Amino acid sequence: MTNPLLELQKQGQSVWYDNIDRAQLASGQFKKMLTEDGILGVTANPTIFEKSISSGHSYDDQMSLLIQKGKSTNEIYEELVITDIQTVADLLRPIYDRTEGKDGYVSLEVSPELAHDTQGTIHEAARFWKMVNRPNLMIKIPATPEGIPAVYETLRSGINVNITLIFSIESYRAVTDAYLRALEERNGEGHDISSLASVASFFVSRVDTLVDKLLEDKIKATNDAKLKSLEGKAAIANARLVYHDFKSIFSTPRFESLKHAGAHVQRPLWASTSTKNPAYRDVLYAEELVGPDTVDTMPLETINNFRDHGKVRYSIEDDIPAAHQTFEELEKLGISYKQVTQQLLDEGVQKFADSFHQLFKGIDSKKQAIAEGQIAH
């Protein structure tokens, strides 16, 4: 039986793995996913590292060593994460070489503390790029108003960028413009632009989580059961409208001249594609957003589910008029697209910041436990 994950490649979609776990790297499970499931890249974020580092004991030896050397909590965090990122980058390097820089990337996020600090983000992106020292690294920068100028500057300096936490079409357009301006600048200065890569990470399921909650409140208030038909529609509609934009932006004369100079399109990456609502099909978002020049980054559960029962078809451009209609109906009900996407961006930044603080607490408590153990010893 054909693996549906491999079938996605025939539709022009790359599957990246939304997780880094040292235990999986050590056991060979990750390598197996590359060969058997056709995984072509990896993304991670502070929440993922917080779970990996705080659960289990895969990081204990390196952590003990760093504690003995008197490293600070921040230094310990960076060394642990950069070790993983370099390991994954090296495992993905053959894919990067084979696909001529289209796939084979691993992403490392700047500190969520810098989400509203343009200069701090630019500085940290450059520092991480130098520390990791791998051509198949992408630095993750959030699509906040302060993040977008940092995206432009970072790309302009020749560093690959994965722009994260995009929820609105307006943000998406700002992100593509930053990419095109950076390419134009580099090309004008005579730099090679064929090796610069970027993806625009557009978050999916969280849109339904919030919109469905607002719809449930409306149903309770009005007793209008008809509103139920709008549940589970906003996220896919939003992503499809973004893809529609992507196709028009990257077929303009502006991009054509850059393409002629070797530029790659900035692919939309579907993030948060696990299904949060148990009432929906567990591979809903993965199945409904299939199309060329896209990336779907999936957590392990979604990968397993899709391998088992995912149906592959060209779905990304299904019923664009219905996507527009969904948002028209929501606006009529007083559910504002602008407010929803702004709230999701604010919550996304906060969620990553909370995970970051939690991770630092976890490192501190391990430092204390190891120090107490040494004293007892």
pLDDT tens sequence across 32-78: 999 999 999 999 888 888 888 877 788 888 988 998 898 999 999 99
10 backbone dihedrals φ, ψ, rounded to 5°: -65, -25
Distance CA(22)–CA(333), nearest Å, equals 47
Per-domain residue ranges for the chain?
4-370
CA 350 to chain centre: 16
Distance CA(59)–CA(126), nearest Å, equals 26
Strands 106-109 and 137-142: parallel
Tokens of 333: 């009900």
Distance CA(60)–CA(248), nearest Å, equals 49
Number of H helices, E strands in the chain: 16, 8
Strands 137-142 and 161-166: parallel
Cβ density class 336-354: b for 16+ within 10 Å, e for less: ebeebbeebbeebbebbee
**pLDDT score of 158:** 98
**pLDDT score of 126:** 98
Do 44 and 108 meet the contact criterion of CB atoms below 8 Å apart? yes
C-alpha angle 139-142-144 in degrees, rounded to nearest 5? 145
Do 275 and 231 meet the contact criterion of CB atoms below 8 Å apart? no
Distance CA(204)–CA(191), nearest Å, equals 35
Tokens of 75: 């230094």
Tokens of 346: 């604010």
146 backbone dihedrals φ, ψ, rounded to 5°: -85, -25
pLDDT tens digit sequence for 256-310: 999 999 999 999 999 999 999 999 999 999 999 999 999 999 999 999 999 999 9
* Residue among 135, 154, 33, 39 at smallest CA distance from 85: 135
Which residues of the chain have a pLDDT value below 50?
Answer: 375-377
Location of structure tokens 């969520």: 112
Distance CA(117)–CA(106), nearest Å, equals 23
Q: Is 328 exposed, middle or buried (0-12, 13-18, 19+ CB in 10 A)?
A: exposed
Do 304 and 15 meet the contact criterion of CB atoms below 8 Å apart? no
Location of structure tokens 């390097």: 93
Do 110 and 140 meet the contact criterion of CB atoms below 8 Å apart? yes
Query: Which SS3 state, helix, strand or coil, does residue 297 take?
Result: strand
Distance CA(247)–CA(245), nearest Å, equals 5
CATH domain 4-370 topology: TIM Barrel (3.20.20)
**pLDDT score of 374:** 59
**Number of Cα atoms under 13 Å in the Cβ half of residue 73:** 13
Q: Is 221 exposed, middle or buried (0-12, 13-18, 19+ CB in 10 A)?
A: exposed
Distance CA(353)–CA(348), nearest Å, equals 9
Q: How many Å is the Cα radius of gyration of the chain?
A: 21
Q: Active-site positions?
A: 140
Tokens of 44: 């991670």
